[in-house]
Amino acid sequence: MTTFAKAVRGYEKMCEEHEIPAETVMAYLVELSQRERYNLYLHYEEEMPADLEKEFDAGMARILQDEPMAHVLGYSWFYGYRMIVNPDVLIPREETEELCAHILSRIDRIFPGNNELVCADVGTGSGAIAIAVAKEEPRTRMYATDISEEALVTARKNAEQNDCEITFISGDMLKPLIERNIRLDVLISNPPYIPQEEVMERSVVDFEPHVALFGGEDGLKFYREIFRDCRQVLKEKAFMAFEMGWDQRERMSALVEELLPEAEYEILQDMNGKDRMLFVYFNAENDK
């Protein structure tokens, strides 16, 4: 058998050789150890139990083939909530947690006295955004849409395991909301925004759903659709919140100004100083 420390050092070296972040090794082992209720940090220099070592080796073999750690585990953490992930849904990103935090702060500012807020997460995927916002803001009546039936199966499971009440609707972008005459205070979307021809890492392209990644020739296809149709689902006072590509500020600004000239908007940076979030306001004062 091998000690925890020796196993970690060995796989860290292999990860570096495969251009995989070395911290992946410790992150994966921590998750396995917690699942087995084994205190890794107290026993780091001791021998690893045989069953844990076997599972660790098997998982690291998959990770070294560029399979995402979240797929190996079968779950990912998002905003403190555990989300089932698989090849049918996009793995939730840390940047998207920042989007949720900004959404929640703006709900508090713009709708301080509302007893209920009608919200929708368009293109929900795993359901992570819808679940996080609904759990953190109990006033919300949350809808979530997706064109992928497979994604909705996973999203429903995530809502159930996190004890979260969400109405999931199958359909393309805003169409299912329009058909049901649903009117929103808050519209949220993290649509596919990667340009069709952009070269991506193998761990993303080979293991995550392309329908959740690519947004047409310039990456803005789904924003155009939402901007074009959003007045049919928004209340007079409302706001929209989006994740966006870090290099899309100028094109996104031009698109908002062209299609939603009556709205106010702002583009926010993430913790790394990159332009990653777009907020659009309709008759909603926001203390920026």
pLDDT of the chain, 288 residues: tens digit per residue: 689 999 999 999 999 999 999 999 999 999 988 765 667 778 888 898 899 999 999 999 999 999 999 999 999 999 999 999 998 998 998 889 999 999 999 999 999 988 999 999 999 999 999 999 999 999 999 999 999 999 999 999 999 999 999 999 999 999 999 999 999 999 999 987 665 554 444 444 444 444 444 444 566 888 999 999 999 999 999 999 999 888 889 999 999 999 999 999 999 999 999 999 999 999 876 554
DSSP, res 104: H
pLDDT for 103 equals 98
Burial 259-269 (b: 16+ CB within 10 A, else e): ebeebbbebee
> Beta strands 81-84 and 75-78: pairing type?
antiparallel
Tell me how crowded residue 73 is: count the other CB atoms within 10 A of its CB: 18
Assigned token pair, 201: 């890492």
> Beta strands 234-243 and 275-282: pairing type?
antiparallel
pLDDT for 208 equals 45
Specify the residue for token string 């080979």: 206
Specify the residue for token string 């251009």: 19
Question: Tell me, which fold does domain 87-282 have in CATH?
Answer: Rossmann fold (3.40.50)
Amino acid, res. 12: E
Q: Where are the alpha helices (DSSP H) in 46-148?
A: 50-63, 69-73, 94-110, 128-136
Which helix (H) or strand (E) segment holds residue 243: the answer is: strand 234-243
DSSP, res 236: E
d(CA 160, CA 211): 24
pTM here is 0.87
Burial class (CB in 10 A: 0-12, 13-18, 19+), 45: exposed
Cβ 45 vs Cβ 4: under 8 Å: yes
d(CA 89, CA 212): 7
DSSP string, 152-187: HHHHHHHHHHTT--EEEEESSTTHHHHHTT--EEEE
Contacts of 260 (CB under 8 A, 6+ apart): 227, 230, 280
Specify the residue for token string 């590509």: 245
Q: What is the pLDDT of residues 168-200, one digit of tens each?
A: 999 999 999 999 999 999 999 998 766 555 444
> Beta strands 166-170 and 184-189: pairing type?
unpaired
Specify the residue for token string 């702002």: 266
Assigned token pair, 2: 């091998």
